[in-house]
Amino acid sequence: QLQLQESGPGLVKPSETLSLTCTVSGGSISNSSYYWGWIRQPPGKGLEWIGSIYYSGSTYYNPSLKSRVTISVDTSKNQFSLKLSSVTAADTAIYYCARGVIMGDWFDPWGQGTLVTVSS
Amino acid sequence: SYELTQPLSVSVALGQTARITCGGNNIGTKNVHWYQQKPGQAPVLVIYRDSNRPSGIPERFSGSNSGNTATLTISRAQAGDEADYYCQVWDSSAVVFGGGTKLTVL
């Protein structure tokens, strides 16, 4: 059964870069039937897509975050990563990683999520 | 950018049918997916491609999509169905989520 696990600092200072990693177990990140995504959820609010990466390395980003986001994949470690630069308090959220289905574009499964707080 | 509109809240009596809508311009031409999120948990896919249930999701969950509205229907609502529900589509190389609907089972 495929599982995803987010990891990274739970506290980031304003103006710095948020860095998270998602480790995939129970399946290969190189499977061409899937892609990999990051979604976040500010406390008490709804879901916001951050971006997605395909096994080929192609990326798609939320236009509202595009200038600050980089998503990359490390097939040797079966991991993919998120970097979000110049963070502010508005970036405080639970960050989820998830598997996307090509030719379908739904996410399943999701990681448990990790809370990242932006504060000095 | 494409927008999806959901009611903030829906209430349903125990054992009755709940319907949660997701509105969008010509949404009937897109594939709509639905997620259930219980407090403190990650979202779980309950419907994909408008009306398909992943394995493990009860038959009480169904979906439809036509015109400008997609609908998630939960039959014989149970206390355990109380959660937030989100619709999602893919549009112009971007993933779009609805704002979410809180389902209360009375």
Considering CB atoms only, which of B35, B44, B97 is closest to A49? B97
Work out the pLDDT band at A120, boundaries 50, 70, 90: very high
| Strand, coil or helix: A1 | coil
List the 13-72 stretch of B: residues with Cβ below 8 A of A: 31, 33, 35, 41-45, 48-49, 54
Work out the pLDDT band at A102, boundaries 50, 70, 90: confident
Q: What angle do CA A21, A23, A24 make, to 5 degrees?
A: 145
Contacts of B27 in chain A (CB under 8 A): none
Q: What is the pLDDT of residues A36-55, one digit of tens each?
A: 999 999 999 999 999 999 98
Q: What is the pLDDT of residues A79-95, one digit of tens each?
A: 999 999 999 999 999 99
Phi, psi of B27 (to 5 degrees): -60, -20
pLDDT computed for residue B27 by the predictor = 98
User: Looking at chain A, how many residues does it have?
Assistant: 120
Contacts of B89 in chain A (CB under 8 A): 105
Distance from CA of B20 to the nearest CA of A (A): 16
Q: Do B42 and A104 touch (CB under 8 A)?
A: no
Contacts of B99 in chain A (CB under 8 A): 46
- Burial label for A46, CB within 10 Å (0-12, 13-18, 19+), is middle
Q: Do A49 and B86 touch (CB under 8 A)?
A: no
**B24: closest CA among B8, B6, B4?**
B4
Work out the pLDDT band at B74, boundaries 50, 70, 90: very high
Kindly report the three-state secondary structure assignment for every residue of A77-112.
CCEEEEEECCCCHHHCEEEEEEEEECCCCCEEEECC
Tokens coding A65:
């975050």
| Strand, coil or helix: B27 | helix
Distance between CA atoms of residues A48 and A119, nearest Å: 21
Distance from CA of A5 to the nearest CA of B (A): 12
Q: Do A108 and B54 touch (CB under 8 A)?
A: yes
pLDDT computed for residue A57 by the predictor = 86
Tokens coding B67:
């015109």
Q: Do A46 and B98 touch (CB under 8 A)?
A: yes
- Give the CA radius of gyration of chain A: 13
Distance between CA atoms of residues A48 and A117, nearest Å: 16
Do A73 and A28 touch, CB atoms closer than 8 A? no
Distance from CA of A75 to the nearest CA of B (A): 24
Distance from CA of B33 to the nearest CA of A (A): 6
Strand A107-110 to B83-91 pairing: unpaired
